[in-house]
Amino acid sequence: MELHADLSHRALLDTSALAWMPSPMAGVERRLLDRRGGEVARATSIVRYAPGSRFERHVHGGGEEILVLDGVFQDEQGSYPAGSWLRNPPGSVHRPWSEVGCTIWVKTGHLPATLGPDGSEA
C-alpha cells in the first residue's frame, strides 16, 4: 500500500475527517496518514485502543515513535499517560495494550538501523 508515501511532496490531511479503519487486532483502530508497505511498513498513523484492548507481540525493524494523545498507553516497560513520547529503536519488540483506552500518534519504519556516535547514520 502507498498512501502519501512520496516524502518529497507536501501532504496535508484533516485527520478528524478520516475514517477509523480496523487493525489486525480487535479493539484497535487506525487513521492512516502515510504508508509505504503492508502491515509491516514505514507508516504514520493515529491509533485508538478501546479499553482493555491489546496488540500482539511484534518487532519494529525500522523503529517506532509514539506520542500519547489521550488515555494511557502501556507495554512491558510501563504505563504512559497523555503527553508521553516514546522512541523504540530498530529491532525493538513489545506487546502494547491499554487498560483504560488511549489514542496515540505512531510512526514506524523510519529510523536507521545503526547510528554513529554523533547521531548520524553509520
> Which H or E element spans position 90?
none
- The top-level CATH class assigned to 27-108 is mainly beta
The pLDDT tens digits for 10-40 are 888 899 999 999 998 999 999 989 877 566 5
Provide the strand spans (E) within the chain: 2-3, 21-22, 28-37, 41-49, 53-54, 58-60, 64-75, 78-81, 85-88, 92-94, 97-98, 102-108
Q: Looking at residue 103, what is its pLDDT? A: 98
Q: pTM (2 decimals)?
A: 0.84
pLDDT band with cut points at 50, 70 and 90 for residue 114 = low
Q: How many CA atoms lie within 13 A of 71 on its CB side?
A: 18
Q: Looking at residue 122, what is its pLDDT? A: 52
Specify which of 56-60, 78-82, 112-116 reaches the highest per-range mean pLDDT: 78-82
**CA 108 to chain CA mean position, Å:** 6
The pLDDT tens digits for 60-106 are 778 899 999 999 999 999 999 999 999 988 888 889 999 999 999 99
Q: If we measure between CA atoms, which residue out of 97, 96, 98, 91 comes closest to residue 114? A: 91
